[in-house]
Structure 1
Amino acid sequence: MGQDRCPDTRWAWVEIDKGALRRNTRAFKDLLEPGVRMMAVVKADAYGHGAVQCVKVMRAAGADQFAVATVKEGLELREAGITWPILILSEPPMECVQTLVEHDLMPSVYTQGFALAYGECAAALGKVGKYHLALETGMTRIGVNWKDAVEFRRGIDFHRGLSCAGTFTHFATADVPGDWTFALQFKRFTEAVSAMRGAGIDCGLVHCDNTPATILYPDTHLDMCRVGVGLYGMQPAESTRPHISLDPVMGVRAKVTRVIYPETGAGVSYGLTYTVARQNTQIATIPVGYADGLSRTLSDKMDVLVHGTRCPQVGHICMDQCMFAVDVNTRRAVRPMDEVHYGDVVTILGADGNERITAEEMAKLRGTINYEVTCNFGMRLEKVYV
């Protein structure tokens, strides 16, 4: 369960299960008809799982292309030797067009000024700048208005330094089966694509499905699907759970750095929000805190797993450490268990024995979504791939 995987420099780490990642990637690939490509979304360091390592596993399991959020994220993949197509899911600053061209990173395009600057740079370097046209169909985030697609393309297509490799939009309500706004967005998107094709404009790979749409709407797969959170073993919504089985990829572990039997009435952590109420209660410390992604809002609300048993986290979560309580075996114990010792492995996220703490459980306690939970844990903790 991780006893031998602890880094030498700190008794806290993230475990990434490459086998689970491989199985999830294949599960999504199996949803697609032959010829439909899969773009794996690895932004935010693969949702906290480590983009470089994840890309290699995903590619071997069937992913065709990859998507990131920023130019820096794309560069990190290129510098690691990743040569497959990479899309940046927004239009970057105009100042970085040379970087895009030199490293073959495809930007999303939705303003004429950026498109022409990108094309000029590509032509000056003797290259063609590939891009994906982003269309606004109802999410009100990015993109050319779907009604203006033909006019926009005519305004940039004269440039010999540009080549449209794809056209896409993004759904706001794909996780709601039968939602009318989803149907409206898809109708607008397909109408815009048809209008461009009718005008003799090449749209490249046409794609609109995110993770929930890939699962729930096979009729909208088109040329390619963009799959993100599901690859990491997290359901994008409760509505998708009956349709695909996914294996969690991330675990978060730590080892106990201190354990004592405080006197009854002793307080724990900043503000002393927890008070030891009975004898035979251990208070154990682990080196994980809110700077590692364990949100301070979870203080006195969450559990950890030790020896396959849930133990309550107690006191305010600190920046680099937190504490939990162990109700050692007595007749009055609420959650009776054996003593915890220095160096014992503690699970913050993941499975231990028959118990599991999921990103969904933690997200519910935080009032957020599972995506944010894993992204947060990926910021500082060292990753161990198993």
Structure 2
Amino acid sequence: MSSNVVHETHSETVQSGRPIDRPRRPAWIEIDLKQLRRNYEVINREKTKGLKLLLVVKDEAYGHGGLKVAKAALEAGVEFLSLSNLDEAMALRGGGIDTRILLLGERQDEELPWCVAQNLTCCVDSQEVVLKLGKLAEKVGRPVPVHLKINTGMNRYGVRWTEALALVEFILSTKSLQFEGVLSHFAMSDELDKTFANLQLERFKMVLAELADKSIHVKYRHICNSGGFLDLPQAHFDMVRIGLLQYGVYPSQVCRRIPGIAPVMSVKARIAAFQNIEAEDVVGYGMRYKAPSPRRIGVIPIGYGDGYPRIRNEGYVLIRGRRAPLVGGVAMDAIMVDVTDVPEAQLWEEIVLMGRQGDEEISVHDVARWKNSVSYDILTGWRARLPRIYLS
């Protein structure tokens, strides 16, 4: 492991009570904070002057560590963060993050006083929520900013675009609230076919035109996610919401690339055991693998209990810069790999399950393909028992 380790996750050092000098388990996640900062530098150079960045750090910053990523984002000059629930927001506030936070999604009634007290900006899409926030704002005696969420076709959250103007006028009539932003969300902005994305954009622009006709000013207009930032410059408006891209992962295989962007997360482990097996021997639960000839099997102490996909006879790890294929089925705490073609492999040496080693790389998209899922699922799916190591 690199010598510039600076921190381990809250779950490792606090919840488990693990002393700093106790041996760490031989499987871990590395988060390269230097590369994260470099990604922010690249994104800042790429964006147009005056365009605001809202960085999405929900779900522990897509598995990278919410507080660490938030602090790095603020160092990069970001003025707005975004999360999806109150617990996430309170964790950042408790960690000393006092910058603006936009809460995506819907809020329960009992959450709203907390949002106002903690200076959390809510998305609104109904008169009921506007009324409740307005009354709370009156009690605290200061304007409370809100962002109107418009449903332009994804049909998840938001007021339908044809009904947005009426709700904006209702917000403006609630004098204790500050109508600050309008947002929507692309259902698919990162593929080559931009037909539906362009339709959503036209619906969004239709609402903006209605507001302009009424001389209604909006400080923040935002619809772009990472895919939109990369491929739809005409939709950037005042602010873009960067999620996956900041972590060095592109949302699709076909969206535009930016030189200098690279993954921040790697997953590593050490070889815990070897088994020398003969032809016709089987490996693992369910006897899913039968050796065609004498083979040397390495056992890696990580499994689906840590978030690695529960796959069979598919995928590979990197040992000494070479691919070693998975054999048998992934267990809760173990993966077996065929190291016959890497005869010099040694007990307890470092291997890579996701990331780069030598000239080879296993990307998050590779792991997602083996699982028949998406990169977001892989990044956020690593379990808390797998320690996070932060490299400066």
The two structures share one fold, judged by TM-score above 0.5: yes
Q: 1:4 to 1:21 in 2, by over 3 A?
A: closer
Q: What is the CA distance between 1:369 and its match in structure 2?
A: 1.5
- The equivalences for 1:84-123 within 5 A come to 84-123=99-138
Aligned position for 1:333: none
Range moving further from structure 2, 177-186 or 160-169: 177-186
- 2:18 is aligned to none
Matched residue, 2:370: 365
Between the aligned partners of 1:52 and 1:175, the Cα distance in structure 2 is 28
What is the CA distance between 1:100 and its match in structure 2?
A: 0.6
> Do 1:47 and 1:378's aligned partners in 2 also have CA atoms closer than 8 Å?
no
Letter paired with 1:176: E
* Paired residue secondary structure (2:267): strand
Give the secondary-structure state (helix, strand or coil) at the position aligned to 1:209.
coil
The letter for the 1-side match of 2:150 is L
Structure 1: distance between partners of 2:193 and 2:273:
53
1:138 and 2:153 are equivalent in the alignment: yes
Structure 2 Cα separation of the partners of residues 242 and 54 of structure 1: 22
Shift of 1:114: 1.7
Partner SS state of residue 384, structure 1 = strand
Q: Give the letter aligned to residue 337 of structure 1.
A: V
- Contact conserved, 1:2 with 1:253, CA < 8 A, in 2? no
Structure 2 Cα separation of the partners of residues 104 and 13 of structure 1: 35
Question: What is the number of equivalent residue pairs in this alignment?
Answer: 376
List per-residue Cα deviations over 1:149-183 (Å, max 9, x = no partner): 12112223332332222110111221234623222
Mark the CA change 1:258 to 1:4 in structure 2 (over 3 Å): closer, same or farther: farther
Over the matched positions of the two proteins, sequence identity in percent amounts to 30
Kept in 2, the 8 Å contact 1:262–1:283? The answer is yes
How is 1:35-114 mapped onto 2 (pairs within 5 angstroms)?
35-114=50-129
Deviation at 1:312, TM superposition (A): 0.9
Could you tell me which of 225, 237, 240 is aligned with 2:255?
Answer: 240
Change (3 A) 1:142 1:244: farther
Structural mapping, 1:1-386, within 5 Å: 2=2, 8-177=23-192, 179-279=194-294, 281-296=295-310, 298-327=311-340, 336-377=341-382, 379-386=384-391
The Cα of 1:196 is off from its aligned counterpart by 2.0
Q: Report the Cα distance in structure 2 between the residues aligned to 1:99 and 1:272, rounded to whole angstroms.
A: 54
- 2-side partners of 1:8 and 1:44: how far apart? 28
3-state DSSP class of the match of 2:326? strand
Kindly state the Cα deviation for residue 242 of structure 1 after the two structures are TM-superposed: 4.2
Amino acid aligned to 1:303: Y
Task: Output the amino acid matched with 1:365.
Answer: W
**CA–CA separation in structure 1 for the residues paired with 2:285 and 2:142:** 59
* Residues 2 and 350 of structure 1: CA distance in aligned 2, closer, same or farther (over 3 Å): farther
Q: Which residues of structure 1 form unaligned runs of 5+?
A: 328-335
Which residue of structure 2 lines up, in the alignment, with residue 330 of structure 1? none
Q: CA deviation at 1:36?
A: 1.0
More moved, 101-110 vs 180-189: 180-189
Deviation at 1:203, TM superposition (A): 2.5
Note the residue ranges of structure 2 that are not aligned, 5 or more in a row: 9-21
Secondary structure of the residue aligned to 2:255 is: helix
Query: Separation in 2 of the partners of 1:3 and 1:22?
Result: 19
